[in-house]
Each structure stands twice: as C-alpha cells, then as structure tokens.
Amino acid sequence: MKTPPLPRKKIADALETLAGWTFENDALAKSYTFGSFREAMSFMVRAGFEAEALDHHPEWTNIYNRVAIRLNTHDAGGKVTSKDVELAKRIQKISWVA
C-alpha cells in the first residue's frame, strides 16, 4: 500500500518537533557530527535498526565523524510521508548529539 505525500503544512508542523531537521529538495534532512568515526558508525547501526523496524530506509552518507541523512518515500514519488516523519522522530530519540 502506498503512503500518500504529506502536505507542506504537516511537514512544517512535524519540523517544529524535530530539532535541526530541515525540508529541502523533497526530503527531510539533517547532518550529525559525532566525536569520532566510531561514534558515527555506532549511531548508524542503531539508526539502521530503527529503519529496519519500520521497513523504511534512509539515504545517508558518512564521512569520518559526520552522518548526513535524507528521508523521503520512493513509492510516494520521492516525497515526504508519515513514514519519513516517524523515522526522523526515532532517529532523533536515539541521537546523543544535537
């Protein structure tokens, strides 16, 4: 079943509860900077468990201690859906950096 894209108002409302997240190029986005590569990797592993639990996987990159995340839903035409908001909330909860 396809998840419908969220209207911009709902995206804006969600961003009010997601510190540091932005809406850019049809995706929720945030970059995290950790104390080391090891911390960045452990965050990615933990976030990966959250993504797998939702069966919704991020687009992300890692360079040394930085992790950049983009969330949108492919089966919704690459738009932001409730799945992306839920995954962002879960990622926010497990992060120990701003």
Q: DSSP code of 90?
A: H
pTM value is 0.94
Residue 52, judged by CB atoms within 10 A of its CB (0-12, 13-18, 19+), counts as exposed
Mean predicted confidence (pLDDT) in 56-77: 96
Share the mean pLDDT of the chain. Answer: 95
**Domains in the chain: ranges and CATH:** 8-94 (3.30.1360.20)
- pLDDT > 90: percent of the chain: 93
Buried b (16+ CB within 10 A) or exposed e, 80-98: bbbbbbebbebbeeebeee
Pairwise CA distance, residues 68 & 63, whole Å: 9
Query: Residue 92: CB partners within 8 Å, gap ≥ 6?
Result: 18, 19, 21
Q: Residues 2-38: pLDDT tens digits?
A: 889 999 999 999 999 999 999 999 999 999 999 999 9
